[in-house]
Chain A
Amino acid sequence: MPTNKFLVDTSRCIRCTGCEAACKQFNEVPQGIRRLRVVTINEGKPGETNVPMPCMHCTKPPCLSACPVTAIYKRDDGVVLVNKDKCIGCGYCLYACPFGAPQFPDTGLFGSKGKMDKCTFCIEPFNQKDEDGNLIQREAKPRCSVFCGTKALLAGDIGAITEEYKKRIAGKLPSGAVPDVA
């Protein structure tokens, strides 16, 4: 069983927002909800850095611990999901999350009054259920990553993406100096 993670190569990210748009179109996320947002620090100055911020699917998710109704769960492949049927919209998860990943729709928007939504590794679209009421469960393949304009946003099994990242930085460092980023 792979352990799914995101890994951001900030030296590549240019804030082209391809990831944000890919996420929106693939998951049919309504306006106002941002499952992923690119944050820029030091904008317009030397040291300007862009960081795409989806849900990091933490190994020990603080949101999961904070949820009073156990709506949040972690799958065997590492992906953290929310059961919208259980969610009461209290927002504790948002306070607990260091990345601000949990999102709450405005009241009335598409009828989903205050149910928490966040990045699902593209497993679930915004509306979790199809027209027959079945839970939609797609493959774990984040479209932000496959669409990433510069391949800055790596996603997938932690082993595979670490290998890819190591290859990139190998060119920049003297041989033997590749740090272990896992």
Chain B
Amino acid sequence: MNRVKNSLKTTRRSFLKGAVTLGAAAALGGYAGLTRNSPLNLFEAASAAPAGEEKLIKTICPHCSVGCGTLGRVVDGVFVGQEAWADNPLNLGGMCSKGASIRDIVVSEKRLKYPMEKSGGVWKRITWDEAINKIAGKMNEIREKYGPDSVMLLGSAKTTLHESYLQRKFAAFWGSNNVDHQARICHSTTVGGLIPTWGHGAQTDNYNDLRHSKCLFFIGSNAAEAHPVAMQHALIAKERGAKIVVADPRFTRTASKADLHLRLRPGTDIPLILAICNVIVNNKWHDTAFIEARTHGFDEFWDVCKDYTPELAEDITGVPADKIKEVARIFKENGPMAIIWSMGGTQHSVGSQNIRSYAILQLLLGYVGKSGGGCAALRGHDNVQGTTDMGCLSHYLPGYQSVSSEPAWKMWCNIWGIGYDDMVKRFASKDLMLRNGMTDSRWYEGAIRDDINQPNRIKMVIVWGHSLNSITQMKKEKKALEEVEMIVNIDPRATMTSSLPERNDGIIILPAATVMEKEGMVVTSGRSAQWRYKVIDPLFESKSDLEILKLLADKLGFGQYFTYSSVDDIYTKEICKGVRSIGMMGRTPDRIRKHMENSSTFDPENIMARGGPCDGEYYGLPWPCWDEKHPGTPLLWDDSKPVSKGGHDFRALWGDKVADNKYKLHVGESMLKAEGGKKMYSNAAGVNYALDTTGEAVQLALAAGDPPTGRGRARFWAWDLTDPVPIHREPIESPRPDLIAKYPTYADKDKTYYRVPCEFKTAQNPELVKKFPIILTTGRQVEHMGGGAQTRGSKILAEIQPDMYVEINPTLAGNIGVKEGEMVWVESNQGKVLVKAKITERVNEKTVFMPYHWAGVFEGASYEDRYPEGTGEYVYGDSCNIVTAPGYDEITAMQETKVGLCNVYKAQGG
């Protein structure tokens, strides 16, 4: 024991040395637990120390949707280090560098310490009272002058489920749909592509299920850097004989583990997938029994697909036809195959259709709904699945209910304890209440132009947990930040929001607690919830988002709707009641905490508990979890099990028959499963299960052995979309004028497109390639996350990855006369950035790549000196989103960061 004690003394001393200013002697809260050994861990469990010495607190990594667990080591309320949570079934203790540096981020001396205001060109410390008064005062002033829609609220995927839900609710009580968050630019197109295909927009499987795939098809996912611990499961599958195929414009670290790498031209996923489907159908490798029983519209699909031959696809994608044929055979011979994507698939002007094409491939092969046959949308943030579920989006209410639905508003008003008419009065008009708001991806347009679909421009922006450099069109964004009357930044760090705009006044920054300093639920990409226990109390003057929400709501006069007796209350009294569409009713905080405490009983092979108090339940109760006895649904659409054991079926979202459509095709054909088909359940009064707060409809369904969502058919042919079947459309910035002529993008959108007009066809200029001949694509570095404000503020991560760079192929580098490490300009139609050259064959000679985590330099000029003193980050770099393309997904307004055109040249003196 003496040894342990000694080591702790040292740790504590050296930590406190750096922390004299922290005032960190906070009381210890939360849960203290030790863990048992897991089969893969070759070591003893974390050493136990006498009470009062060291406590180990179970918590969840804040950086990606794998949801790795870790143990916070706490001594006398001080966060002294981390231990591995070896029996967390999702990661078995494993973490990437971001996860292993959580403490470093929390105790970083660059954190924001107290509220500050920039006025008269200088940053001043202010009190919380002053700050809240000023913010609420300005909001009310703007409401008076311009209406509530002139405030834009950018929420966060870094919040807990409870907080995200309240951010959405806050916007409703403020009276505007101008609320959005990172899900818009992360996986909105996954939702936009999957819901029209089969009714829900989430990952169908979970990370652990990848172990059971016979083939893993990564397309637009560099999991080895973006979701590193997912590779633990993927490589276990490989050891068991699975094939790995990676389609990516770069030879990524993921591709280095593959049997086959397809280097496709960015923005050509659809022709690649359609050609694979073409080979499958021509060889009669498709699963006709599955297609007949559980899908609709195959013929319409084939009508499109038959023209996409491997040879045609070779011309468009650059992938040789024989490789396409080989891949089709691999997929057939190695089933079930899981298809795995991330922002390489989603961030395109055809993003929703990309994702639809992936889903269609899985329908064709009949793999979906089977273990190993996942459609794995690897989401970005730790809780972005949860915050999407909570509807912190400008077109949704919590639970994917459209803002245009009056019944949905009425249900929520009922839960919130406010009359519907009173809610309407909070908005500028009922019309605006039922209208999609502005998006995260294009909010700045609302601040700098007048042809918008609301009374006045955005005049104030509240950036609540978002690094704005992850949004494209940064020059416009900068202008917007300079034009609005007030900027509020609520974050553990000052972030570029406070420093990018050149302005002397009107910025208030509030120190938010980090995720380790508060508790609540977070949801992995696999729809499993975990309870993130509080490791320490908030440091400095920072406050949790819940507290800040309450302070603001109180000041704005609707605090009574934000009064809860506990964090659990928010969940049990409201979320469980209202978020019925995806079955949140059974997922109570108590049950989730029980899973955390008994994590060792869950089998990493299938995340099911064996024995113990959670016997038969799936870890984190993946939604839908229909009632308090339900074990959770590990695999969506899996009809091989009873619903009571986690079985499921395609959601009957389109009623029992094909509706009247503009093609006048297939009208009246059945949309219910061939055998045992069921409509979505309603209660006796005819209220759909999703809005039936009595719970009667759900119980009717469960009694009949059905999911309340019914048993319907998935759609090959989505008659209500612009393209009912995915077709190729060239990216907005395309290097192929010939293909632009043949496969043009969509028509321009008017101001009803999330309140701001958007150019598609007009923006697609076939001449652009003459001036900007090189393709630009973007992505991640494993050490950093999102806009990087947190990770670049960690000494450890800044040391391991200190550089922003552009990857250039040796041939291109030779042609433009650039050597390793030299500074180059990367310039596009949007702007330019000054970055270091990294010469590598990861990219081909037509393409360059930049990571998107960097800020603090803008078109070569540092704005480090504009951060308030003592804040900022350890490393800075120019932001690639100054140059990325102005493309947007037609359905969701997702930004197109994965393909654009640029030029690269050596900087003077570089």
Contacts and interface: CB of A to CB of B under 8 A. Distances in A.
Contact of A45 (B91, B240, B251, B254): B251
A137 to B, nearest CB: 5
Interface string A144-181: 01111111001110001100100011011000000000
Contact of B100 (A25, A150, A156): A25
Interface of B: 3-4, 6-7, 9-11, 13-14, 40-44, 47, 81-84, 86, 91-101, 103-104, 224-225, 228-229, 231-232, 235, 238-241, 251, 253-254, 256-257, 261, 782-783, 795-797, 799-801, 807, 840-843
Nearest to B4: A138
A16 B256 CA distance: 13
Contacts of A76: none
A69 B92 CA distance: 42
Given A14-B253, A138-B7, 15 more contacts: A14-B224, A14-B228, A14-B231, A15-B782, A16-B96, A17-B782, A18-B96, A21-B796, A22-B95, A25-B81, A130-B10, A136-B6, A146-B84, A149-B229, A154-B42
A48 B253 contact: yes
Nearest to A152: B235
24 contacts: A11-B238, A14-B228, A14-B254, A16-B782, A17-B97, A17-B783, A20-B800, A21-B96, A43-B842, A44-B251, A46-B251, A47-B256, A130-B13, A145-B42, A147-B84, A147-B94, A149-B91, A149-B94, A151-B94, A154-B42, A155-B42, A171-B239, A171-B240, A172-B241
A99 interface: no
B47 A139 contact: yes
A11 B235 contact: yes
Contact of A161 (B42, B95, B801): B42
State the main secondary structure of chain B at its contact with A.
Answer: mixed
Given A21-B800, A25-B104, A44-B842, A141 B43 contact: yes
A161 B100 CA distance: 23
Contacts of B97: 16-18, 20-21
Contact of A150 (B228, B783, B840): B228
Contacts of B84: 22, 143, 146-147
Contacts of A20: 97, 800
A154 to B, nearest CB: 7
Interface in A35-54: 43-50
Contacts of B797: 21
Given A21-B797, A25-B100, A131-B9, A151 B92 contact: yes
CB-CB nearest 6 A-B residue pairs: A44-B842, A16-B228, A48-B256, A21-B97, A21-B100, A16-B96
Nearest to A135: B6
B706 to A, nearest CB: 39
A105 interface: no
Given A26-B81, A44-B251, A125 B228 contact: no
A136 B240 contact: no
A50 B782 CA distance: 14
B570 to A, nearest CB: 33
Contacts of A32: 799
Contacts of A113: none
A150 B841 contact: no
Given A17-B783, A156-B43, A28 B11 contact: yes
Contacts of A145: 42-43
A116 to B, nearest CB: 19
A43 B6 contact: no
Given A25-B796, A31-B799, A138-B4, A146 B93 contact: yes
A18 B797 CA distance: 10
A16 B14 CA distance: 27
B513 to A, nearest CB: 20
Contacts of A50: 253
Contact of A146 (B81, B86, B238): B86
A147 B100 contact: yes
Contacts of A48: 251, 253, 256
A136 B3 contact: yes
A132 B231 CA distance: 44
Contact of A15 (B103, B224, B251): B224
Nearest to B101: A21
A111 to B, nearest CB: 12
A147 B95 contact: yes
A171 B100 contact: no
B878 to A, nearest CB: 22
A42 to B, nearest CB: 8
Contacts of B98: 21
Contact of B96 (A12, A17, A155): A17
A130 B232 contact: no
Nearest to B8: A130
Contact of A131 (B10, B83, B253): B10
A155 B93 CA distance: 14
Contacts of B238: 11
Contacts of A15: 224, 253, 782
Contacts of B83: 143, 146
A134 interface: yes
A150 B7 contact: no
B871 to A, nearest CB: 20
B279 to A, nearest CB: 25
Contacts of B224: 14-16
A150 B42 CA distance: 14
Contacts of A44: 251, 807, 840-843
A112 interface: no
Nearest to A172: B239
Contacts of A134: 6
B239 A18 contact: no
Contact of A22 (B100, B253, B261): B100
A12 B81 contact: no
A127 B7 contact: no
B253 A127 contact: no
A115 interface: no
B232 A149 contact: yes
A133 to B, nearest CB: 10
Nearest to B839: A44
A127 B14 contact: yes
A21 B796 CA distance: 6
B841 A149 contact: no
A25 to B, nearest CB: 6
Given A48-B253, A131-B9, A26 B228 contact: no
Contacts of A118: none
Contacts of B82: 22, 25-26
A127 B14 CA distance: 10
A57 interface: no
A130 B3 CA distance: 10
A17 B795 contact: no
A181 B841 CA distance: 33
A127 B842 contact: no
B10 A149 contact: no
Contact of B94 (A26, A49, A150, A164): A150
Contacts of A136: 3, 6-7, 10
B231 A150 contact: yes
Contacts of A160: 42
B101 A14 contact: no
A28 B107 CA distance: 13
Q: Which of A22, A138, A164 has the most CB of B within 10 A?
A: A22
A28 B14 contact: yes
A139 B796 CA distance: 24
Contact of B95 (A18, A26, A127): A18
A147 B43 contact: no
Contacts of A154: 42
A53 B81 CA distance: 23
Contact of B231 (A22, A149, A155): A149
Contacts of B9: 130-132
Contacts of A28: 10-11, 14
Interface in A67-120: none
Contacts of B86: 146
Contacts of A151: 40, 92, 94, 232
